[in-house]
Amino acid sequence: MRETMICPTPPMGWNSWNTFYDKINESLIRETADAIVESGLKDAGYEYLIIDDCWSMKERDAQGNLVPDPEKFPGGIKAAADYVHEKGLKFGIYSCCGTRTCAGYPGSFEHEFQDAAQFAEWGVDYLKYDNCSRPRSQGTEMLYRRMSMALRSTGRDIVLAACQWGTENVHRWIRSTGAHTFRSTVDIQDSWNSIETIVSSQLELQAFGSADCFNDMDMLVVGMNGGGFNPETKMGGCTEAEYQTHFALWAMMNSPLIIGCDVRELSKEAGNILMNADLIAINQDSECRSAYQVDVYESPDSFILVKPLSNNEYAVGYFNFGDSKANVTLNFWDMGLSSAAGYGMDVYDCLDHQSIGIKREYMTVQIPAHGCRIVRMKPKGMS
Ligand code: GLA
């Protein structure tokens, strides 16, 4: 019997789709595994290396097995998985609950148990399971239940990442299927507009994700800078401030942190954002509490998220979605601290990595357009 959860905190890793689209192969996977280790990403917590769509042949073999494309993966998927494991990382792959994947390769519909057994044999630790080409009569709930059972039946611990896109009120039932994460939105694009749209659609739904079943707001676009081969993701890129805000929101909202840029050419700026240990610690906090939202009256385009942490601290994110700078105030009253309590807040800045000191009653910050400020607060007796 397994005594621990497979996903006690949001999964962290890298996925091929945002940047590489169908241009994936064994060398890319090896080089990416090397880069995850050498860049420090592994030490920062990124552990899953996930191959997305387009890894197989367009048809199954005579026995109904999925066949890795021999041109892309001459050693098969097992060789890629073995290399990833040798690096101390975990290996993920992609399939779909319909008859075809979103890019037109064979899906796992009515092959669930056969494919799950194959994945387990190859050493797969994580399955991203998409939602295209479903036979009309099939809702996704049954199909995710089915793959969950198939994976569990292999006896191997395999994360089921349900790429459901947020239809059919997925947040209400996905946990009961046995899935460990659930994509809750359409595909992210490398643009501020896409980030803003995804976040706005999930602010009200934060409480539905928790340990062993997290709300997946899609892969990160940090570090893409408008590049890559994916015409659907490529959308001009974001500013550094926007990438920072994107990462901070994914961290505060307990989303999986799955990198989508080319980590073989990770820029210093992107590395700093992706390896911010203070933000990662917020995302990986063992209590996995969802944040609550505090409205900001001074600025209609700004909001504050407060997430209780396991060590009697609170992660506080000030966010400005407006197109000009804004002053944003958090009244500690809104966190539960009345003036009569005799407490102030000891504040630590998670972007500058330094203490700001004690604040009483409230804390106001000025935030640039599309920017953020992330701090940790700890109640401190003032007597
Ligand atoms: C869907 C998913 C994406 C990606 C593609 C692959 O669009 O939402 O994340 O996996 O399919 O075809």
Which among 16, 51, 52, 220 is the best mutation to test ligand 1's pocket, defined by most ligand atoms within 8 Å of the CB?
Answer: 52
Residue 327, pLDDT score: 96
Cβ atoms of 215 and 209 within 8 Å: the answer is yes
In the residue annotation, 82 being an active-site residue is answered as no
Please tell me the pTM assigned to this model.
0.98
Whether residue 2 has pLDDT greater than 80: no
Question: Residue 136 above 90 pLDDT?
Answer: no
pLDDT of residue 205: 97
Task: Give the model confidence (pLDDT) of 3-28 as tens digits.
Answer: 889 999 999 999 999 999 999 999 99
**Tokens at 262, concatenated:** 């080319």
Structure tokens, 88: 């101390």
pLDDT tens track for 229-286: 999 999 999 999 999 999 999 999 999 999 999 999 999 999 999 999 999 999 999 9
Backbone angles phi, psi at 76, to 5 degrees: 75, 180
Q: What is the pLDDT of residues 180-224, one digit of tens each?
A: 999 999 999 999 999 999 999 999 999 999 999 999 999 999 999
What confidence score (pLDDT) does residue 231 get? 95
Whole-number pLDDT of residue 368: 97
Which residue's C-alpha comes closest to atom 11 of ligand 1? Answer: 102
Contacts for 329 with CB less than 8 Å, ≥ 6 apart: 296, 298, 362, 363, 364
C-alpha closest to that of 195 among 222, 213, 214, 173? 222
303-313, pLDDT tens digit by residue? 999 999 999 99
130 labelled catalytic: yes
Give the DSSP letter of residue 62: T
**Among 52, 69, 130, 212, the one annotated catalytic:** 130
- Nearest-CA residue for ligand 1 atom 5 is 102
Residue 1: its pLDDT value, please?
A: 65
